[in-house]
Amino acid sequence: MPRGKAAATPDHATLQMALVGYEVEKARIEGKIRDIQGQLGMARSAGGGAAAGAPPQNRNQSPAPPTPLPAPPPPPRAAHPRAAAAAAKAAKG
């Protein structure tokens, strides 16, 4: 922080001159934007890009919801050790 004097706030005349300068700069930039849009063939409408009275388009949503995926089959289960031993015993003899 600076010592001594408090930070000076700009006076009214300085703020007015800054505002005029920024408005001139804004007009210059908007002119360049219009030139580039003209070169690209983009026409700007006064209505903000949408026809008057038309509902806005929702470009992010598909017409129908996606169908859900089927449930996966259950994993195969191993046979019980006693049942496997009994089957092996029966197969032997």
Question: Which pLDDT does position 58 carry in this prediction?
Answer: 60
**Tens place of pLDDT per residue across the chain (93 aa):** 556 665 667 789 999 999 999 999 999 999 999 999 888 887 655 545 555 566 666 666 667 777 888 998 888 887 778 888 888 888 886
pLDDT of residue 51: 54
For residues 31 and 44, give the distance between their C-alpha atoms in angstroms, rounded to a whole number: 13
User: Can you give the pLDDT at residue 78?
Assistant: 76
Q: How far is CA 81 from CA 78, 86, 88, 90, in A?
A: 9, 9, 11, 14
